[in-house]
Structure 1
Amino acid sequence: MPETRSPLRADARPSRAFGRRTLLSACAGLAAALLCAVGPASAQTYPTRPVTLVVPYAPGGASDALGRLVAKWLQEKLGQPFVVENRPGAGSAVGADFVARATPDGYTLLLATSTTLAINPALYKKLPYDPLTSFTPVGLVANVPFVLVANPSTGVKTLKDFVALAKAKPGTLTYGSAGNGSPQHLFMELLKTSTGIDVIHVPYKGSAPAMNDLVGGQISLMVSDLAPALGQIQAGKITPLGVTTAQRLPGLPDVPTLAEAGVAGYEATAWQGIVGPAGLPPDIVSALSAQLRAFVADPATAEAFARIGLQPISDTPSEFAAYIRTEIGKWGPVVRATGATAD
């Protein structure tokens, strides 16, 4: 900034009072300038060092793949490394707790899922974090669609067939899931409640072994995320009865939604979004939110999502916060009705 000089003659001597007033005025101006510079600094300069994106699941799955896509985008757009750190355990609670305890400076973020924020609060009696107060929502990025599938040996080809068979033989059909309290478990329990049927739950340690037993005929049915089911459907090894989303899926255009097939109002998807620790500065939230919305809107993202069985979804931080509350209210009663617990 160029030096400002007094218009007084070089040999003039200002009074002592004038000097003090000038000094005080200059200090006040400098303080104001510094405050203006500090105010938006985090938005203008963030990030200035590597950012950790915690994925609370093991490497290799859809969540891990999504986390790396998000990290790659943010790294390219914001000019600093975004490093994915896998912290699996306790149905994503281990990774979530780690981020909840982190400094809220934008350098530790979490890929949070519907399990993390909407299901775990009812599933765990002693959850180490609060989904509503431990985090700052930044934005949703993906929906995970599911499909109800049956082994061909059941003879069912539609949801109507399945419901009729289940009511004719209550307590004899079996369905698999990725474990107690998993989306596969809860989505089927919601379907059971909606249709008044009685089928037996067989929990597995993950969706892959459940899908293997469905193909092999050891279980009758399964609500599966799309990615592992699609190839088996295309090979004719399992029969799709309906998708859990509000609209039909591009990968299965001839398969109706469960609502279209007769279960009015049925909609159930897992979802994934980005959150930070509670108290994340609003300007950093805004900067990250804008990039997430751009990421979701990019055509290359839609193509990448299709390959791993995801659907792009976007919202604002406030909309995400409201959605979390809605989902807790939706899934809490379903979890409690099943009696499932992870403690």
Structure 2
Amino acid sequence: MNPHNRSVLRRTLLAAALAATGLASLGAFAQDGYPNKPVRVVVNFPAGGAADTLARAIGQPLSEALGQPVVIENRGGANGNIGGEAVARAPADGYTLLMSSGGMVSINPHLYAKMSFDPAKDLVPVASAARVAVYLMAKPQLPASNVQEFIQYAKANPGKLSFGSPGNGSSPHLAAEMMKSQANLFAVHVPYRGAAPALQDLLAGQIDFHFDPGIGLQHARSGRLKLLAVGSPKRSPLFPDVPTLHEAGLKGFDADSVFGFYAPAGTPPAVVERLNREINKVLATKAIQDRIVALGGEALPLSPAEFGARAAEDSKRFGAIIRERKIAAE
């Protein structure tokens, strides 16, 4: 190689090295500079429900960890699709997140013939927050003191009982459909816009029972509601004497749902990793674990990949009952 060509090669290699160093520094700066403004968390269900309670419980310590305000915004409706779409359409910069039950990702695609967005493609999993169990609760006036008597009464009075849910196709609704299918009973479904209004009508005696995602446990303790069973594979540490529906004879009954945080597709991986790391640190604290247990669930720190895999498994499980019961969005 002649001297001129060697000189050109050296200059080219030096320029490439400087460019690479500059890009690496820019990437490190971008990562270290996040966040530099408030982070908005959209909860796709009304205030007072499990998703809202989790978002607010985790939001404060997450704000402290990030050094920026974490602002909670409720955008309920359409089984979580309204809030989900708002986040899917938001800039993919890490400043807009979604807190949702697993239902919007794992259930809604089976319910709606058309959705305005694709949760699997337009959102990315950031961090799971909690595995939330559902609890079979009935109004005190119902003539049943345990789950076996409840099932017998419901079967003897087809169509007489009504049950509420946070919405058509929500995980509490599907839990009731699983029970109806396995126990061969019929009851009338009354969908609400969230778990909190369904709970209020159960307390008022307007409906007879529902599967509660944990927000009504205080009323079970006080005797205002009858807690008959847990719709989870294992008993709740809060109520060790309350049987699971599996123990009551509905084999393999599992209506658990995983709640967590999502971001718009295209959010930088470094930002997703930072958020996952900080949220998992929050979940490791006793204060948050106690809050989640009080809600009737358990903290579930996972990597983004593990969270996504869990959502895919839940999709298969819930999709099966949706097809069997021919459930569709209303």
Deviation at 1:275, TM superposition (A): 1.1
Q: Is the Cα–Cα contact under 8 Å of residues 280 and 301 in structure 2 kept in the other structure?
A: yes
Q: Is the Cα–Cα contact under 8 Å of residues 42 and 284 in structure 1 kept in the other structure?
A: no
Unaligned 5+ runs, structure 2: none
Q: TM-score, normalised by structure 1?
A: 0.84
Q: Which of residues 239, 247, 261 is equivalent to 2:234?
A: 247
Q: Is the Cα–Cα contact under 8 Å of residues 61 and 282 in structure 2 kept in the other structure?
A: yes
Q: Which amino acid aligns with 2:125?
A: P
Q: Which of residues 244, 269, 285 is equivalent to 1:282?
A: 269
- Matched with 1:73 is 61
Q: Residue 27 and residue 244 in structure 1: after superposition, are their counterparts in 2 closer, same or farther (change >3 A)?
A: same
Q: Where do 1:122-271 residues align within 5 Å? A: 122-228=110-216, 230-271=217-258
Deviation at 1:38, TM superposition (A): 3.2
Q: Which amino acid aligns with 2:306?
A: E
Q: Which has the larger radius of gyration?
A: 1
Instruction: Pick which of 36-45 and 266-275 moved more.
Output: 36-45
Deviation at 1:307, TM superposition (A): 4.4
CA distance in 2, matches of 1:232, 1:83: 29
Tell me the alpha carbon deviations over residues 131-166 of structure 1, each in whole angstroms, 9 at most, x when there is no partner. Answer: 211111112101222211223433222222222233
Q: Is the Cα–Cα contact under 8 Å of residues 40 and 283 in structure 1 kept in the other structure?
A: no
Q: Which amino acid aligns with 1:276?
A: A
Q: TM-score, normalised by structure 2?
A: 0.87
CA distance in 2, matches of 1:213, 1:36: 57
Q: Residue 225 and residue 31 in structure 1: after superposition, are their counterparts in 2 closer, same or farther (change >3 A)?
A: closer
Q: Residue 102 and residue 212 in structure 1: after superposition, are their counterparts in 2 closer, same or farther (change >3 A)?
A: closer
Tell me the alpha carbon deviations over residues 161-214 of structure 1, each in whole angstroms, 9 at most, x when there is no partner. Answer: 222233333333333333322333211101111222223323345444544444
CA distance in 2, matches of 1:339, 1:25: 64
Q: Where do 1:319-338 residues align within 5 Å? A: 319-338=306-325
Q: Is the Cα–Cα contact under 8 Å of residues 138 and 288 in structure 1 kept in the other structure?
A: yes
Q: Residue 165 and residue 18 in structure 1: after superposition, are their counterparts in 2 closer, same or farther (change >3 A)?
A: closer
Q: Is the Cα–Cα contact under 8 Å of residues 56 and 94 in structure 1 kept in the other structure?
A: yes
Q: Residue 30 and residue 259 in structure 1: after superposition, are their counterparts in 2 closer, same or farther (change >3 A)?
A: same
Deviation at 1:243, TM superposition (A): 0.8
Q: Which of residues 54, 57, 68 is equivalent to 2:42?
A: 54
Residues 1:108 and 2:99 are matched in the alignment: no
CA distance in 2, matches of 1:142, 1:128: 27
- Matched with 2:76 is 88
Partner of 1:241: helix, strand, or coil? strand
Instruction: Pick which of 230-239 and 90-99 moved more.
Output: 230-239
Deviation at 1:236, TM superposition (A): 2.3
CA distance in 1, matches of 2:70, 2:202: 39
Unaligned 5+ runs, structure 1: 1-14
Deviation at 1:309, TM superposition (A): 4.4
CA distance in 2, matches of 1:221, 1:35: 59
CA distance in 2, matches of 1:48, 1:213: 43
Q: Residue 332 and residue 76 in structure 1: after superposition, are their counterparts in 2 closer, same or farther (change >3 A)?
A: same
Q: Is the Cα–Cα contact under 8 Å of residues 157 and 240 in structure 1 kept in the other structure?
A: no
- Matched with 1:5 is none
**How large is the Cα RMSD of the aligned pairs?**
2.7
CA distance in 1, matches of 2:133, 2:309: 21
CA distance in 1, matches of 2:98, 2:25: 29
CA distance in 2, matches of 1:25, 1:146: 62
Q: Which amino acid aligns with 1:115?
A: G
Q: Is the Cα–Cα contact under 8 Å of residues 42 and 283 in structure 1 kept in the other structure?
A: no
- Size of the aligned set, in residue pairs, is 328
Q: Where do 1:288-303 residues align within 5 Å? A: 288-303=275-290
CA distance in 1, matches of 2:190, 2:8: 83
Deviation at 1:255, TM superposition (A): 0.8
CA distance in 2, matches of 1:330, 1:117: 13
Instruction: Pick which of 59-68 and 88-97 moved more.
Output: 59-68
